[in-house]
Amino acid sequence: MSLDELNMQIYGCKRCRLWQGAKHGVPGEGPLNAKVMLVGQNPGADEDETGRPFVGRAGKFLTKTLAEYGIKREDVFITNIVKHVSPENRKPFADEVAACLPYLRAQISIIKPKIIVLLGASAKDTPRMEGIEYFEVIHPSAAMRFTNMREKFRQQIAQLAKQLQQN
Ligand code: SF4
């Protein structure tokens, strides 16, 4: 299956209840040959509005921090565990995660990234696949708000940039 076909499935998906309150499905975006995939938990209000991942304040902070360490946003694939916004931005329920994970699994199989960056502990459900390096960082929204976490986040992104140079 192509990424476009997968996106079409996501736009029309009703496998769990989350589509009901959403304006747009947010499959994710990035190049087919991305070496790095970033995975967050779920789209927020800005993402629901635009249909694009990580475009709100936390997304802008993430994009800026990546750029500071030489990683261009347009070179990475960014997505989430679930592809529709949840009511009041609550954490997705386990059955919603289970229903949506086949899409993320398919995205990983199509893109075949070398490194998957888990954005916060909430991305822990990301499928583990052989031959891929997994790299957990602080969620950008927490890094944006708390000074001590921001510093740690920068160190993690610096480490990611170093690993990318070796790949
Ligand atoms: S969150 Fe995932 S499983 Fe649920 S309706 Fe959206 S695309 Fe389908």
- pLDDT beyond 90 at 83: yes
| Predicted confidence (pLDDT) per residue in 30-67, tens digit | 999 999 999 999 999 999 999 999 999 999 999 999 99
- pLDDT interval class at 167 (50, 70, 90): confident
pTM for the structure as a whole: 0.95
Sign of CA dihedral 9, 14, 16, 20: positive
- What pLDDT does 166 receive? 83
Q: Looking at residues 58-77, what average pLDDT do you find?
A: 97
Q: Coil, strand or helix: which one is 136?
A: strand
| Predicted confidence (pLDDT) per residue in 4-22, tens digit | 999 999 999 999 999 999 9
Give the residue ranges of DSSP H helices in the chain. 3-11, 45-50, 57-68, 94-111, 140-145, 147-166
Instruction: List ligand 1's pocket residues with C-beta within 6 A.
Output: 10, 13-16, 18-19, 25, 82-84, 96, 99-100
In the reported structure, the alpha carbon of residue 51 is separated from the centroid of ligand 1 by a whole-number distance in angstroms of 13
Here the tokens at position 12 are: 């029309």
Enter the DSSP assignment of 29: B
Would you mind telling me the total number of residues written for the chain in this entry? 167
Q: Looking at residues 112-141, what average pLDDT do you find?
A: 94
In the reported structure, the alpha carbon of residue 97 is separated from the centroid of ligand 1 by a whole-number distance in angstroms of 8
- What pLDDT does 122 receive? 86
Residue ID of nearest Cα to ligand 1 atom 2 = 100
Provide the 10 A C-beta neighbour count for residue 38. Answer: 29
